[in-house]
Each structure stands twice: as C-alpha cells, then as structure tokens.
Amino acid sequence: MLTRKQLELLDFIQKRMDHDGVPPSFDEMKEALDLRSKSGIHRLITALEERGFIRRLAHRARAIEIVKLPEAMERSRAAAAAEPPAFTPRVIDGDRVDAPAGAMAVAVLHSIEVPVMGRIAAGVPIEAISEVSHHIAVPGSMLSGRGQHYALEVKGDSMIEAGINDGDIVVIREQSTAENGDIVVALVEGAEATLKRFRRKGGMIALEAANPAYETRMLPDHAVKVQGRLVGLIRSY
C-alpha cells in the first residue's frame, strides 16, 4: 500500500513523463505536492523505489524510471489513452529543451582556451586531478579577476540542485581561499578531489552537496585544501 503523498508523487511523475518524456525536477515535485523542503521529496522517492514502483539511475540528473503503477492508476491511464485526442499534435523541427536563462553561445563571444584537467567528482570523491586532457574555449567574461583558470568535467549528481549536472564542464579560478557559500574544488587529505559548497565552522570545514541524497562531509581544517572556486559552467545541448 502507498500513502496518499506517495501516490500523488507517482502520479505526477508518470504524467510529466508521458507529456514531456523526462521526469520532473525536485523543485517541480516539491511545488506540485506543496511540501516545504526537498528532503520530503527525497523520502517519498526512496519509499517508491523501495516498493519497486520506480528505479533511480546513478550519476544522472532527473534519472527516474517508472517500473510499475498501482492497478487503479494503470486503469486510469489506459482509459485516458483510449480517448481521441482533442487536437492534432505537430512536431517542430529542432525542438529541444530551452537553455538556462543567461546562457550564451561560446562561438559568438570572445573566447579564451583553458586546459581541461580531467574529471571532478560531484558525488563520491575521486583521485586528485593533475594532468591536462585537452583544451576548451571559454567566454572571456567568465574569466573575471586575476589568476589562472582551468576547467573540469563533472562526474556525479551531488550538485544538481545548484544547477550542475553530470557531464557539465565547470570553469574554475585557481585560488587557495574561499568564502562561506562558495562552490569550490576541494582536495581532501591530499588524495581526493571533489566539487562542493564550502563552509567553515570553527576548526572544521563542511563540504556541502546540493542533493539531499548526499550527506555533508565535516573535516578538520588541515584535511581540506581549496584548489579553486567555481566561476562558470559550460553545457552542451
């Protein structure tokens, strides 16, 4: 048996996937169910997954697959599918998801090449990054301020609610200090590199994820070295 909220969420996900082909975001689910926090959505999704109604795919944003539906919901869906459409659908050539507000095409801007230093974990930390894999053109407006810049390919989904998805390229200004709330490349205990939000709390450093599925890591000050601060993001469509 599912609770009323679990049924509401499953119905909302199913209808959005039928209509748009992709699951809703955590923000959209929270608004649809009138919940105060995204952690409530995370608990409902976990419950649906444990009961075998949905499946989540690792390291992908919005990666939810519906495995089955309750019988009543299946009957309702079948009845709706049997009704004739109220309009004639049309396909628009080149239809795609809109780019985020403020997005700019790199090709039409003054751009500068910066080295891509491999991958950075937005999830479980991976080994420290030190070698250039290739170069990428970055809008000059992203490279504000002095200092060296480099880019990293994001691996994982722990920063999706900060708008950073698996496969994105993040542009980093090299620096060794950070303010509370900055998204930084942090070197943990000299061996692991991760992309997280930085907060100093006394003699401890909190590395916060932007995904309720991941816990905040609390580490002593000496175990964390800031390698740079996020100044831009590049996404391919």
> Burial of 138 by CB count in 10 Å (0-12 exposed, 13-18 middle, 19+ buried)?
buried
**Cα 167–213–157 angle (5° rounding)?**
0
Strands (E), 27-148: 54-56, 64-66, 111-121, 126-127, 134-139
From 39, 158, 176, 225, the catalytic residue:
158
Q: Partners of 121 in the beta sheet?
A: 155, 194
Q: Partners of 137 in the beta sheet?
A: 113
Phi, psi of 4 (to 5 degrees): -60, -45
From 155, 196, 201, 236, the catalytic residue:
196
- Whether 155 sits among the annotated catalytic residues: the reply is no
- Whether 133 sits among the annotated catalytic residues: the reply is no
**Catalytic residue positions?**
158, 196
